[in-house]
Structure 1
Amino acid sequence: MTDSLSELLKDIDLSADVFFTGGLCGLQGAERLEMASHLHFLKSGAMTVLSPTDELSLTAPCVIFIPDGGEHRLRIDGPDDAELVCATITFNAWQKARLVEILPRYVTVDASQEASLAGTIHHLFVEAFGKGEGRGLIINRLTDIFMVQLMRYVLDQGIISATDLAASSHNVLGPLMAELKARPADNWTVEQMAEKAAMSRSKFAALFKDIVGKAPMDYLTDIRIGKAQTLLRNNRPVALVANEVGYDDSSSLNRAFKKRLGTTPKQWLKSLLGKEG
């Protein structure tokens, strides 16, 4: 039986470095990391993660992974110190960029509710707050293991797809797919994509289908539809949305929606608003 997650992760070069274990109080800062991500394990207490744009409150036991390594502060809430293990997770530059593309701003896990992760977290806390010889090395190795489990968790929960994870770890397709997501309105062709990948059209198309599981233009359509849905939720007119995601007019967007979702943009939005209401 093929272990698809191992196949996907074997090419991701990550290393964990635990730089703090112990109790915190008050307000503590964490600087921006260019080549790494932040990972915090909250053993006890409560805290709020503060960034320049948002904040997130957490209670123990839980874990928060911050893929972009962005600057933030930890505000310890309540009268007691919070017990924490803090680590940096280093990737190579393009792998981090791809993970930032596909993962949400924060990945949080309630350790009390996720049995698949609880064992590793428990052992990590035992080592972090113990005094055994070799604890530093063990903590780093446990954190490596936890990161693999965390990626399995985000796959199982549907936070990301195996397709996106596979592409994010591919040195040819990863950068290209990031470009497609950044500029879906461009007049892309398979020939242009192949040129970006420095491959022949036929080899590129075969590689893309093998790694991603669908043809390049089908993947681009999915990106365009996804962006269109976001814009429609923000009350953008259908005609303008069509132009912003790469279609000549609203009729073209209607056809793409009907083919993918079985409904028109306006019908889809009406159904969505009805469910939310």
Structure 2
Amino acid sequence: MENIATILRKISIKADVFFSGKLCGIQSFEGDRNGHLHLLKSGELTLLAGENSKWVVTEPSVIFMPGPTPHRILSSEDEVPELVCANVIIESVDKKLLLEAIPDVLILPLTLHQDIGRTAEWLFEEAFSQSVARLAMIDKLSEMFLLQVLRYALDNQMVKGGVLAALTHPQLAKVIAAIHTSPHSAWTVDGLADVAAMSRSKFATLFRETVGTTPNDYITDMRIALAKELLSDNVPVSVVANRVGYEHASALARVFRKRLGTSPKSWMKNRE
């Protein structure tokens, strides 16, 4: 968990509570770009996600969807559910691989997972408090909640792959840590294989099968995500290029065009 915590420290997590009360009828969450966190405090509900996934939740539970999973919540007529709902916004250089590693839907009864339930309840309490530190508390509790969920997924062999799976592998964990510690280094597959103390071919195969992408593509995706963060902070393109491992701004621009179909400057303009 130490390596996971290191990566989580670089993640921006925000929870935006938008509903609290008794839910009647059907609530749809379609086409949303955010994740969702629902706390069923009492009552009963039916959760529909995707084409064929259906869950009936009959006890107080945390329902967590880390990514933008379209879903609907149907309330029970006999046991009207009392819910607290929040959008969850995760920003990280590893966001894509983090989300791919966690199940699309996690339903955690509070009786079985008290730590996660307590954190969720505390998060929602802060959301409706009048404290001057309210927003800071919500962000910190969101980070704690996600770390607890990741630990639960790892402990219960629920990780589907991605960077989380790599962090549970003793040799790949060293590689991921090295890349994140020095993203600007001129990494090669041979060099990363040396960090893992493996042959080049064995390392390349293990990395691709575990993480779901090649070492070079992982590095490129991470550098682009890191570049976006720096550009969003108004760091000049030439400085950003050097910080993420490219000699010149033109080299970063080529990578941007290849992966995103636009230049760094155009990306910034479209973002405004």
TM-score by length of 1: 0.57
Deviation at 1:133, TM superposition (A): 4.5
Q: Secondary structure at the residue paired with 1:112?
A: coil
* Consecutive unaligned residues in structure 2, runs of 5 or more: 177-184, 213-272
Q: What amino acid sits opposite 1:72 in the alignment?
A: H
* Consecutive unaligned residues in structure 1, runs of 5 or more: 178-196, 225-277
- Runs of 4+ with deviation above 6 angstroms: none
Mapping for residues 105-184 of structure 1, pairs under 5 Å? 105-124=104-123, 126-127=125-126, 132-133=130-131, 137=135, 138-139=137-138, 141-160=140-159, 164-165=163-164
Deviation at 1:220, TM superposition (A): 4.0
Identity of aligned residues (%): 31
Deviation at 1:111, TM superposition (A): 0.9
Deviation at 1:6, TM superposition (A): 1.4
Aligned equivalent of 1:81: 80
**Does residue 50 of the first structure (1) align with residue 48 of the second (2)?**
yes
Mapping for residues 1-277 of structure 1, pairs under 5 Å? 3-34=2-33, 36-53=34-51, 54-92=53-91, 95-124=94-123, 126-127=125-126, 132-133=130-131, 137=135, 138-139=137-138, 141-160=140-159, 164-165=163-164, 199-206=187-194, 215-220=203-208
Deviation at 1:121, TM superposition (A): 3.2
Q: Secondary structure at the residue paired with 2:68?
A: coil
Over the aligned positions, Cα root-mean-square deviation in angstroms equals 3.6
Q: What amino acid sits opposite 2:48 in the alignment?
A: L
Size of the aligned set, in residue pairs, is 192
Per-residue CA deviation, residues 125-153 of structure 1 (Å, 9 max, x unaligned), is 5556x765459634554333212221122
Cα distance in structure 1, aligned partners of 2:84 and 2:206: 43
Deviation at 1:44, TM superposition (A): 0.8
Q: What amino acid sits opposite 2:188 in the alignment?
A: S
After the TM superposition, which of the residue ranges 79-88 and 136-145 deviates more from structure 2? 136-145
Q: What amino acid sits opposite 1:12 in the alignment?
A: I
Cα distance in structure 2, aligned partners of 1:167 and 1:11: 17
Q: What amino acid sits opposite 1:73 in the alignment?
A: R
CA spacing shift, 1:6–1:157, aligned 2, 3 Å: same
Cα distance in structure 1, aligned partners of 2:90 and 2:195: 24
Per-residue CA deviation, residues 242-270 of structure 1 (Å, 9 max, x unaligned), is xxxxxxxxxxxxxxxxxxxxxxxxxxxxx
Cα distance in structure 2, aligned partners of 1:208 and 1:32: 41
Cα distance in structure 1, aligned partners of 2:94 and 2:36: 15
Cα distance in structure 1, aligned partners of 2:92 and 2:7: 17
Aligned equivalent of 1:193: none
Deviation at 1:166, TM superposition (A): 7.0
Q: What amino acid sits opposite 1:97 in the alignment?
A: K
Deviation at 1:78, TM superposition (A): 3.6
After the TM superposition, which of the residue ranges 10-19 and 159-168 deviates more from structure 2? 159-168
Deviation at 1:98, TM superposition (A): 1.7
Say which one has the larger Rg. 1
Q: What amino acid sits opposite 1:58 in the alignment?
A: V
